[in-house]
Chain A
Amino acid sequence: MLNETAVRTWITEFLVSLTGAEAATITGDAPFYNLGIDSVDAVVMAGAMEEHFGTEIEATLVLRNATIDELIADLRESGLLS
């Protein structure tokens, strides 16, 4: 089971390192696309997330959710979040 705070923190750090954006601009409701994340980044991010958390993460998880908040809600609905 994943932990919401850990997932949020990890995604923020991943996006900061990928885009060079200030962590403060990476809010829960900021669209990934506006942060400069394209579909290649989305697949890479899902893969990195899978490795970091040691659980299967579909690449569609990032592609089908526009923001961190949506992604978290999706994980919860899929029963992956405690």
Chain B
Amino acid sequence: MGDLGSFNSLAPLLRDDPYPVYATLRARAPVFWTETEQAWVLLRHQDVSAAFGTPGLLTLDLGQFVADVSQALGDHPVELLRLLEMAIFFRNPPAHGPLRALVARLLALRPQAACAAEVTRIARDLHAPLARDGGLDLMTGFADPLPPRFMGWLLGLADADALWLAQTLAGVPVILNRGASIRDFRAAELRLTEAHAFLRPEIAARRNAPRDDGLSLLVSRNDASEAPFDDDRLTALTSFVFMAGFETTSALIGNALWLLLDHPDQCDRVAADRRLLASAAEEALRLEAPIQQVRRRAATDMTLAGQEIRAGQQIVLMIAAANRDPQAYPDPDLYLPGRTGRPVQSFGAGLHHCLGAWVARMEAEIALGTVLDGPRPRLCIDRPGWRPLHNQRRMTNLPVQV
């Protein structure tokens, strides 16, 4: 890592523990250009935060990228391209606004108290086997199924259907990682084809006979809009919302449980004072951000973090580094529920600020509270087994015993 120009966040040595490298780089050159990645890299909290709020920084269009790769290969991944067309965070104005407005309506369907009650019900149901069987994988048995079941409830899908959909779509979000392979794109296309064959009739059924559920709301709001999406796109949007609702939230719940259980003293504090639960979830967001970095493209020449950026150049907003900036958080590597300070950057900010941030925070807080309500679990692993992805901070398994 001596040469800044050859810095590459995809380097295998950065996968398990990138934070010490970011700390060294942040102190030495908080903003720099890397030839290898062909991008500016922002590592400071203030710069990442400012960049999220800069309208002249556009999101990268992954759909265009996948279309270009597919064209070179003679592939036609229609379902995948439609999904990316509906993926709010890859779209810029003017396409961005109507998509975001529609999904915002969906998330506002139920009062937050009703959502919290449902999450609590699901969390208790999933947690029950721990006391009964004496052990549970808190990833595969708890953090993974909780968010899809909540999304299923919101959309109006049966539990079994929501879990089937989550399993079917589980591999798709891998394509969000820069450097996803053609293999990943082709697998995603197959999975989406399968999922959409299930969702299309569900959507058609809601149009014929609306119910009091999220799918019906999506259909009716869409059909009443000035430029409604066709059913293929509405189906793709449903898949997108469902995945956006489970992928990073499951990651967050797992990371929050790992950090809490790996710090027994803090775990005692939080168990004794439940007002710290939200903050325990926030520390997990900060220390192990489910999405570690995002990229932007400069629409015009501009000055950013004191650097002249030219139109068309790309910028890496290193969330994982900003969240551990000592200028923003004293003792940044310490897990400290109750800490106050600057907002974590894990949900972004500005135009693309995560619409479901409140849902994710609520689910993580309730998940932690549910586990603390039961017998204290002992971790069966010494260190987290991270998925081998540079941009998604998510564990594969989290086995515990009581």
Contact = CB atoms under 8 A, between A and B. Distances in A.
Q: Do A and B come from one complex?
A: yes
Interface of A: 31, 33, 39-41, 43-44, 46-47, 50, 56-60, 63-66, 78
Contact of B178 (A41, A47, A63): A63
Given A47-B73, A64-B36, A59 B6 contact: no
Contact of A47 (B10, B11, B35, B182): B182
Contacts of A31: 35
B10 A63 contact: yes
Contact of B65 (A33, A40, A47, A60): A40
The A interface, classified by DSSP as helix, strand, loop or mixed, is helix
Contacts of B370: none
Contacts of B10: 60, 63-64
Nearest to B10: A64
Contacts of B73: 44, 47
B179 A64 contact: yes
Given A39-B178, A66-B6, A66-B8, 7 more contacts: A40-B68, A41-B72, A47-B69, A50-B183, A60-B390, A63-B10, A64-B36
The bracket for how many chain B residues form the interface is 20 to 34
Nearest to A64: B10
A44 B35 contact: no
Contacts of A40: 65, 68-69, 72
A24 B36 CA distance: 22
Nearest to A47: B182
Contacts of A63: 8, 10, 178-179
6 contacts: A40-B72, A44-B72, A47-B73, A47-B182, A63-B10, A64-B8
B396 interface: no
Interface of B: 6, 8, 10-12, 35-36, 38, 65, 68-69, 72-73, 178-183, 390
B108 to A, nearest CB: 37
A44 B69 contact: yes
B38 to A, nearest CB: 6
Contacts of B390: 60
The B interface, classified by DSSP as helix, strand, loop or mixed, is loop
Contacts of B68: 40
Contacts of A57: 181
A58 B181 contact: yes
Contacts of B38: 33, 39
Contacts of A46: 181-182
B181 A50 contact: yes
Residue of B6, B11, B38, B182 most packed against chain A (CB within 10 A): B182
B181 A47 contact: yes
Nearest to A77: B12
Q: Closest 7 A-B residue pairs measured CB to CB?
A: A60-B179, A47-B182, A64-B10, A59-B181, A40-B68, A66-B36, A63-B179
Residue of A46, A47, A60 most packed against chain B (CB within 10 A): A60
Contact of A43 (B8, B11, B35, B181): B181
Contacts of B183: 47, 50, 56
B9 to A, nearest CB: 8
Contacts of A33: 35, 38
A4 B42 CA distance: 36
A40 B36 CA distance: 15
Contacts of A44: 69, 72-73, 182
A59 B180 contact: yes
A33 B6 CA distance: 12
B257 to A, nearest CB: 29
Contacts of B72: 40-41, 44
A55 B72 CA distance: 20
A63 B65 CA distance: 14
Nearest to A43: B69
Nearest to B64: A40
A58 B11 CA distance: 12
A26 to B, nearest CB: 18
A71 B396 CA distance: 28
A60 B183 CA distance: 12
Contacts of A50: 181-183
B182 A43 contact: yes
A57 B181 CA distance: 8
A63 to B, nearest CB: 5
A66 B69 CA distance: 20
Contacts of B8: 63-66
A78 B35 CA distance: 23
